[in-house]
Copies of this chain bind each other. A is one copy, B any other.
């Protein structure tokens, strides 16, 4: 019996999950997709090219997870479920740990218990690098990991577990260290989404100027369009080397101030910033960006979206959903 390819996506109703589904449509994926999420998933997708179903599931519940795996028998797992906020990890480190490392371990054990050896994408974070020196930029995959938050520790543990399961149980896991990503559909708790939303509100309100409460707009980060991120994930699942970690990043450092300037150009609105000291983080690293050379050379990924395109599309998406 040669069943069609079956992709399991955890955290499917999140920002990246939704774009992953879009990407599967674009590449004319024609198998089955099962999406899992912790809450009731409000995923309405009209006329998908592939069979698609969602199910609420707490990944900490081993038994339920094993049942799902035993029935669905995925050929690929895209593990996106995570509480991926550094700030939340400082407030609720146990929740952060459970919803990163422990759920991932449950997933691996579920696959092992049900005798499956599918390809698994383990999503990690640039936060794993932690405290870095300027001479380490751009960050490469062989840079030391010195995690600096409970979230980052949990992600490093997840990556170590991935390698241990590849070596000890011959599982087929490919790991990422994903840098900042943004684009249409991201909630405004993330800084760039919040900026874009405020420009969109000003535009809709007929104002000429935006006033933003900001932290340090001088910080430089590596931003990648979420659509380029899901393309990378798809290619890594297809062609990435098991047991290897890949930076998923643009390769460029961009300051938040530069993003504000682009938004000003796109909207024709001027802006002023007011520093909110609650948004300043002590010991925040001034500059972080990575090298995507390994991703490009080993799986043939390339970036499709410019910073401007992403900001334009995100702006349009906010203009559509705002009242």
Contact = CB atoms under 8 A, between A and B. Distances in A.
A161 interface: yes
Contacts of A154: 157
Contact of A167 (B94, B105, B148): B148
A90 B160 contact: no
Interface residues of A, number: 27
A198 interface: no
Interface string A85-101: 00000100110011001
Nearest to A151: B164
A250 to B, nearest CB: 27
A262 B106 CA distance: 45
A116 interface: no
Nearest to A62: B94
A121 to B, nearest CB: 19
Contacts of A105: 93-94, 97, 150
Q: Which of A90, A150, A160 has the most CB of B within 10 A?
A: A160
Contact of A102 (B62, B90, B94): B94
Q: Which of A62, A94, A105, A164 has the most CB of B within 10 A?
A: A164
A109 B95 CA distance: 11
A217 interface: no
Contacts of A185: none
Interface string A105-120: 1101100000000000
Contacts of A150: 105, 161, 164
Nearest to A112: B93
A150 B148 CA distance: 22
A156 interface: yes
B161 A153 contact: yes
Contacts of A153: 157, 160-161, 164
Interface string A128-172: 000000000000000010011110111011001100100110000
A106 B93 CA distance: 9
Instruction: List the 6 shortest-distance A-B pairs measured between CB atoms, nearest first.
Output: A157-B157, A153-B160, A147-B160, A153-B161, A94-B105, A153-B157
